[in-house]
Amino acid sequence: MATLAALETATPHALFRLPYAEDALAPIISARTVALHHGKHHKAYVDKTNELIGGTEFEGQALERIVLATAGKPEHKELFNNAAQAWNHAFYWRSLKPRGGGVPGGALAEKIEAMGGLDSLKKKLATAGVKQFGSGWAWLVTSAKGLEVLSTPNAEVPFTKGATPLLTIDVWEHAYYVDYQNRRADYLQAVIDKLINWDFAAENLARA
């Protein structure tokens, strides 16, 4: 999956470096939230992954490969959860950008128009995030069916089911509770309108 190659890392896995300053997403997502989310939660998943793979057949493998190899296997559940969350978070940070939102262009825009238009897509993405019970993720993906919006619980990631992620929004409480408390819908709408990185989605679509 060439789309995912840019997010693979050598082991021991390193915490993904943010492509912007911690305060660059404010006021939609505060610097405090980014510092806690990236520096504590994301880092913990990376650190635990490194701990779990030490001395195993997974040592030296990229995150994507570890996720694919452990998905759906109860004996590797802890490793899957941590490796997938490390991967998901690196993808999430790239799915956002300062002064994002707006209107996508090119082939992505054409495919969005074919599935009902941008307003419809944004509503589907927000709804997927709001209706995800408990912790999880809202995704825009491409698959054999074309563009799709879906949600996954906990650490689950669409590429284990054959879909290629284009962008994602984290709907675990640690992604928004400091800034929005229980108002997940407000967080989602603000991110979609002001921070979503359509350029990243377009790049992933071109590589799919």
* Residue 11 predicted with pLDDT over 80: no
| pLDDT (tens digit per residue) in 32-52 | 999 999 999 999 999 999 999
Residue-wise pLDDT tens digits, 74-97: 999 999 999 999 999 999 999 999
- How does strand 164-170 pair with strand 146-153? unpaired
| Distance from C-alpha of 40 to C-alpha of 138, rounded to nearest angstrom | 22
Task: Render pLDDT for 115-130 as a digit per residue (tens, 0 to 9).
Answer: 999 999 999 999 999 9
Locus of tokens 């408390």: 181
Q: Classify burial at 145, counting beta carbons within 10 Å of its beta carbon; exposed 0-12, middle 13-18, buried 19 or more.
A: exposed
Q: How do the domains of the chain map onto residue ranges?
A: 106-207
CA–CA separation, 46 and 53 (whole Å)? 11
What's the pTM?
A: 0.94
3-state DSSP assignment of residue 49: helix
Res. 12 pLDDT band, cuts 50 70 90: confident
Measured in residues, the chain has a length of 208
User: How would CATH label the architecture of 106-207?
Assistant: 3-Layer(bab) Sandwich (3.55)
